Each structure stands twice: as structure tokens, then as C-alpha cells.
Amino acid sequence: MNPFFTLLARDIRLASRSGGSAFLALSFFALVATLVPLGVGADLRLLARVGGGVLWVGAVLAALLSLDRLFQGDFEDGSLDLIALSPLPLELTALAKMLAHWLSTGAALTLLSPLLALLFNLTPAATLTLFLSLLLGTPAVSAVGAIGASLTLSLKRGGLILPLIILPLLSPAVIFGAGAVSLTLDRLAPGGALGLLAAFSAGAVLLSPFAAAASVRLNLGG
């Protein structure tokens, strides 16, 4: 099998194990979406207005739970050194890990979002926009997160520093994603916001494998 797909399947399998990062991310996302309506109250209009932003922030924070292990596990047990010596370029290694993170976490969060949107009284049109925005935007979370994970690879408490690095970089995704839902609630076309979100996500996915690979090389000593 192609080394790229072998690594991809391996990382998806590790993330999908019982108690793995994907399960924790989905559980956290569901808890956030359940607790916020309890705190806001029974004002359905208010819930609908804040729903897009809350679900987007919840999805980003849920994805963060597993990002610190993107390279860390392989770094600690020495597997990353072997992967770096393999014929597979580190850029493709970073891309495989990003894709595995998105398939096991970002895509799962996206599929769960329409169900959680019911808790916020979102209209069918707003729910569809939320789903599309997460589908377009969550790849950027995995991509930018890969850069942060590679930068904090050799730090003992890298998981604590990681959110401080990547959350500011993900602000455009949250703004455009939540903004698209708000536009739909106001019966305006969300195409512009979704287009900007897609452009941001595409740029992050294209550039991050090179940045993450360069950082991994530095942490491995060359």
C-alpha cells in the first residue's frame, strides 16, 4: 500500500479507538451545545441568534482536544524519526496527519452539527448554512492546528501553549462561519461569507504541510 495511505489509515485507526481523541471531541462538542442553552434560557430568538457562533466556537475548541497529539505520540515513542527516514516526504506526512485529524474529528463534528442546531432553534436554512460552513472551515482548523502542533512538539507543556498559538489564527474561520449563519437568519445570501471561508481554508490547507514539515525537521534536529 502507498505509504501516504498507510499512515492515513493508521492515524484514523488510532483516533477512532474507544476513548480516543475523536470520541472526546464529539463528547465535548455535544456538552457545550447542551449547556449553553441551559445558561441562556428559553428565549428561542436569542438562542437562534447566538447558535451559529456558539457551535462554531464549540467545534474549534473540541478539535483542539486532539491537536496536541498530532505529532506528539510519534515523537515520544520514536516513530516520527522512522517516518522522517522513510521515502515519504515530511510534507506528505504532515498532510496525511492533517487529513486523518479532519476525517476523524472535523468531519464528525460537521455531521453532528445539524442535530445540535435543534437545541438552538436554528431554521432549516440556517442549519444547512452551519453544516456547509463547518464542512468548508474545519479543514482549516486541522491545517492551522498542524502548524501549532509541530511548533510545540518538543515542549513539555506544549498542549497548554498550543491554543494560544492557533486560536488567533483561526479567528477568520470563526468570523466567516458564524457570520454566514447570521446572514441566513437575516434572510440574506451567505455566499460571500462562505466564499471567504473557503478561500481561507484552501490557503491554510495548501500552506500548512510545508510549514509543519519545516518545524518537524527543526525539532528532529535537521
Question: Per residue of the chain (222 residues), what is the pLDDT tens digit?
Answer: 688 888 888 888 887 774 567 788 899 999 999 999 888 877 888 999 999 999 999 999 999 888 877 888 788 787 888 888 888 899 999 999 999 999 999 999 999 999 999 999 999 999 999 999 999 999 999 999 999 988 888 777 666 788 888 999 999 999 999 999 999 999 999 999 999 999 999 999 999 999 999 998 888 875
What grid cell was written down for 208?
A: 500548512
Largest CA distance in the chain: 58
- The confidence score (pLDDT) of residue 20 equals 62
Nearest to 197 by CA among 167, 168, 171, 176: 176
Q: Where are the beta strands (DSSP E) in 50-202?
A: none
- The confidence score (pLDDT) of residue 40 equals 82
Distance separating alpha carbons of residues 9 and 38, to the nearest angstrom:
39
What grid cell was written down for 8?
A: 492515513
Amino acid letter, residue 117: A
User: Which residues does 159 contact at the CB level (< 8 Å), separation at least 6?
Assistant: 68, 152
Distance separating alpha carbons of residues 115 and 120, to the nearest angstrom:
10
- The confidence score (pLDDT) of residue 141 equals 95
Distance separating alpha carbons of residues 114 and 112, to the nearest angstrom:
6
- The confidence score (pLDDT) of residue 66 equals 80
Number of alpha carbons in the 13 Å side-chain half-sphere of residue 24:
14
Q: Assess contact for 56 and 180: CB atoms under 8 A.
A: no
- The confidence score (pLDDT) of residue 55 equals 96
Angle between helices 3-16 and 21-40 (to 10 degrees): 50
Residue with cell 460552513: 133
